[in-house]
Amino acid sequence: MSRSAPTWTSGERGLVRLVAELAPSVHNTLPWRIVCADGARTLSLLARGDRALPQHDPHGRDRLISCGAALTNVRLALCALGWVPEIDLLPMPVTPGEVARVVVVERGEPIDEDVVRYLAVSYRRSHRAPFLETPVDDATVRRLAAHGVDGVEIRRLGGRYDAAVLAKLLSHSAAVLRLDTVYQRELNAWTANDEHPVAGAGVAVLPRRDAALPWAGLVRRSTAIPDRVILTDRLARECLLLVETPDDGPLDHLRAGMAVEEMWLTAVGAGLACAVLTQPLQVPEVRAGLVEELSLNGFPQVLCRLGYPIA
């Protein structure tokens, strides 16, 4: 079968961009742009420098993780349209800002797992509340970890020791970020005056003053930091997954974002809720502490909380 294909239809362009916008992104900034080529079914995903967060994300790690998540949604949309996409990360020749190039190869039926993930795209939300006490079983966790992205490991954290390490490090990062005036100013600039902001409008309005880690997610000046023993107990009762990569370059960040979105959508399809934490990992001593105290072989990119939501 020929690898050439006619140009995109307006419906295909619109669907791909819409589904990409439903991907999670740092501070809900949507730090990417999709350019569909004329004359062929090829598209480029470009990182947007104008959506950079120099205080939260000085190295652009979270921005590329966000782009990776959007890329997963693009892949699922193309599969749902009946196309077989080929993805080239950090393609050559280099185009400024281009982090991925997607080429439609041929027609094909999506696999069942991709159909489930695609249907979950519009239902995915960040969960900023407690979970039910119902545990997430090991078989489900194995399904979530089977993301199919090369070089990314998703490992379950568990036991009192892991929870105590996380409680110590999360408490430290919260204390640091809560007092960082410049960081708080940037966070406020990307806070929408709405509990449910539209895509690209920033994060939700300030949470309740009694919201506390790990439920609150973002750390603000009003975020209450719980006692470390209480926080350890909370974390020990939750399903916590750590996304880890062998290196810490742009390719690793893109792949981590792709894997996180694959996992998250699989979780939604299984009736689970999820929230991702990257903010604490931007504090260097917290990231280094995770590597040392959890004996990681690579670099932690994302911490995920999963569980069954309270109706």
Same domain? For 40 and 179 the reply is no
What is the reported pLDDT for 213?
A: 77
Flag whether 128 is in a domain: no
Q: How many domains does the chain have?
A: 2
Q: What is the pLDDT of residues 108-161, one digit of tens each?
A: 999 999 999 999 999 999 998 889 999 999 999 999 999 989 999 999 998 999
- Domain boundary, last residue among 123, 153, 175: 123
Do 57 and 158 share a domain, yes or no? no
Neighbours of 140 (CB within 10 A): 17
Of 89, 123, 157, the residue that ends a domain is 123
Which of 1, 55, 5, 6 has the alpha carbon at shortest distance from 27?
55
Is 44 inside a domain boundary? yes
What does the pLDDT read at residue 2? 45
156 and 35 part of one domain: no
Whether residue 92 sits in one domain with residue 18: yes
Any residues with CB less than 8 A from the CB of 278 and at least 6 apart, and which?
26, 61, 62, 65, 301, 302, 303
Name the domain boundary from 92, 123, 154: 123
The rounded mean pLDDT for the chain is 93
pLDDT in tens, 279-296: 999 999 999 999 999 999
47 in a structural domain: yes
Give pLDDT, residue 280. 95
Are residues 142 and 263 part of one domain? Answer: yes
pLDDT of residue 85: 96
106 and 210 co-located in one domain: no
Do 147 and 292 share a domain, yes or no?
yes
Same domain, 147 and 97: no
| Structural domain contains residue 130 | no
208 falls in which pLDDT band (50, 70, 90)?
low
Query: Which pTM was predicted?
Result: 0.95
Tell me: pLDDT of 246 over 70. Answer: yes
Q: Does residue 131 lie in a domain region?
A: no
pLDDT in tens, 24-39: 999 999 999 999 998 7
Percent residues over pLDDT 90 in the chain: 83
159 and 277 share one domain: yes
Strand partners, 191: 203
With respect to residue 93, please indicate whether it lies within any of the assigned structural domains: yes
Please write the tens of the pLDDT for every residue from 78-123. Answer: 999 999 999 999 999 888 999 999 999 899 999 999 999 999 999 9
- If asked whether residues 144 and 207 sit together in one domain, one would say yes
Residue 129 lies in a domain: no
pLDDT at 1: 42
Specify whether 281 is located in the same domain as 151.
yes
- Domain residues for the domain of 255 are 138-307
| Per-residue pLDDT, 207 | 57
**What band does 5 get if pLDDT is binned at 50, 70 and 90?**
low
Q: What's the CATH number where 244 sits?
A: 3.40.109.10
